Structure 1
Amino acid sequence: MTHTYSVTGMTCTGCQAKVQSLLSKVPGVKNVTIDLPKGEASIDMDKHISATQLKEALKDYPKYQLAETNLNHHTEISPTTDEDKKTWLQTYKPILLIFGYIIGITFLAEWVQGDFVWMRWMNHFMAGFFLVFSFFKLLNLKGFAVSYRMYDIVAKRWNGWGYVYAFAELALGLAFLTGFNPILTNTITFVVMTVSIVGVLQSVFNKRKIKCACLGAVFNLPMSTITIIEDLLMIGMSGTMLLTMLQ
């Protein structure tokens, strides 16, 4: 069953992610969808959960006030939002454009060199990937950290990891760009991305409808196989370069 509640006090995507995270931890809650412009939370639950229990989950953040609405008689019908109406291409257009730009620019850089060297191209691609993705995370660092904490296995245990991770991506981007200690850079990349993908796999396989934090809090991208492919690509490239350099 799905119930809809009004939630006041949410002013940004960081607030949205925080409320979603807190309500998702209530026993019996299967999924939480937040409509930030409307100030509403649609909660899919296994059994009836009282509003008092839901309010209790938000008690440590008094600026977020939950109240029942007159929409709750539609308990068996999940609300349809604009996000539900988007096609796959419309949903993932931002990340597809970013990958297209990075691939195009790095291939152009190889063409200018007069030959194509796979190791050099992968190095440039990973530099572009980390620099661009860290940029979007740093636009709203707090919002990213809150969203990331909803699924990452390290961020769940240490709140500060989301903040560190954004700067770690920036540092890795600069390291790949400047050619700083390639073995160390690729080793760190392999380890960090391998740990990161664990939480992604858990969320996708459990079919949790949560926001992917790969582009920070700027775009509302759902967690999906696209996120898995993105992480696997970085793991594969760093692993390939490590093996090549160590031979």
Structure 2
Amino acid sequence: MTPKKTATLHRMVMPEHTCPYGLKSLDLLKRHNYAVEDHHLKTRAQTDAFKEEHDVKTTPQTFIDGQRIGGYDDLLVHFGKAVPDKDATTYVPVMALFAMAAAMALATSWAAMGQLITIAAAEWFIAFAMCLLALQKLKDIESFSTMFLNYDLLAQRWVRYGYIYPFAEGIAGVLMIAGALLWLSIPIALFIGTIGVVSVFKAVYIDKRALKCACVGGDSNVPLGFVSLTENLMMIAMAVWMLFKVTVLGH
């Protein structure tokens, strides 16, 4: 059996604080089959002395074969892994949101009807997605409204619309889940969805502006374009379908 390689890790483990990146470094080393000499820096004085001794500004610090590798990000690079870029554009948040909305819709369909694939499941998917998207915006409505002003045509003319939008989207979503007060939810969804489609289409496809989408909140790195168009088109489609159900099918 091949003996384990050895690494030395220095990380903060204090009564009031255990460094999360130290724990991540320890886990990463163990997953790469390293036996870890885990040295705890238990006081601020010990931590400062360690930094001064090794001329480093942060902990944790990992050493392999007597060579300093560095902190957690440096350890990722050492093992050939990508270092997450917090400023990079990404579709992950919105993909996770839509996946959760789909799972909730399928679960609700199964609980209510004993079937996964139903028309109601499709309706619930859109309504749940609307509620989850509204929640993301409401987490920091100031940041959302500021980002929203970059492209929404109505918000640029009436700033308060940026504060109303998340509540309107959430209310419409909740009412559509319940199938209640459709006389209110349908026009709300049609109105904000139509304004959204026109605004996004103009900003992205006519003005050719590279902007971040406020659809999943003001701290989003999701590019403006397909995702926001999808959000608004879903609202329009849901409103039109609900209107068809009420006026034609009589449901």
Q: TM-score band (shorter)?
A: 0.5 to 0.7
Partner of 1:238: 239
Name 1:208's counterpart in structure 2.
209
Once residues 222 and 194 of structure 2 are traced to their aligned partners in structure 1, the CA distance between those partners, rounded to angstroms, is 21
Are the aligned partners of 2:192 and 2:232 in contact in 1 as well (CA < 8 Å)?
no
Counterpart-to-counterpart distance in 2, 1:136 and 1:231: 15
**Offset at 1:83?**
7.5
1:1-247 aligned within 5 A: 91-112=90-111, 113-115=113-115, 116-118=117-119, 120-205=120-205, 206-247=207-248
Distance in 1 separating the partners of 2:227 and 2:173: 21
Distance 1:180 1:237 in 2: 14
Aligned residues: 161
Relative to structure 1, is the Cα distance of residues 209 and 83 closer, same or farther in structure 2, using a 3 angstrom cutoff? farther
Equivalent-residue separation in structure 2 for 1:169 and 1:200 (angstroms): 17
- 3-state secondary structure, aligned to 2:151: coil
Pick 1 or 2: higher relative contact order, CA cutoff 8 A, min separation 6. 1
After TM superposition, give the deviation of residue 180 of structure 1 in Å: 1.9
Q: Secondary structure at the match of 1:212?
A: coil
For 2:237, give the aligned amino acid: G
**Whole-angstrom distance in 2 between the partners of 1:225 and 1:136:** 18
- Which amino acid in 1 is paired with 2:170? L
Q: CA-to-partner distance for each residue in 1:86-134, whole Å, 9 max, x for gaps? A: 5xxx71011011101111220122123224441x224322331222111
Return the index of the structure with the highest Cα Rg.
Answer: 2
Q: Could you list the per-position Cα deviations for residues 69-97 of structure 1 after superposition, in whole angstroms to 9, with x for gaps in the alignment? A: xxxxxxxxxxxxx589x5xxx71011011
Give the Cα separation in 1 of the matches to 2:219 and 2:178: 28
Task: Give yes or no for contact 1:187–1:242 (8 Å, CA) kept in 2.
Answer: no
Asked if the contact 1:136/1:218 (under 8 Å) is kept, the reply is no
Give CA-to-partner distance per residue, 1:134-192, whole Å, 9 cap, x none.
11111111111111111101000011110011111222222123322224312321222
Deviation at 1:200, TM superposition (A): 0.5
SS at match of 2:91: helix
- Contact kept in structure 1, 2:91 and 2:222, CA below 8 Å: yes
Runs of 4+ deviating beyond 4 Å: none
Distance 1:145 1:233 in 2: 21
Distance 1:92 1:150, change over 3 A: same
Is residue 147–residue 213 contact of structure 2 (8 Å, CA) maintained in 1? yes
Greater Cα offset, 161-170 or 223-232: 223-232
Which letter does structure 2 place at the counterpart of 1:145?
S
Contact 1:147 1:212 in 2 (8 A): yes
Distance 2:159 2:95 in 1: 29
Secondary structure at 2:239 match in 1 = helix
Secondary structure, in 3 states, of the residue corresponding to 2:237?
A: helix
Q: Could you tell me the percent identity over the aligned residues?
A: 30
Note if contact 1:145-1:162 (Cα within 8 Å) is conserved in structure 2: yes
User: Structure 2: which amino acid aligns with 1:188?
Assistant: I
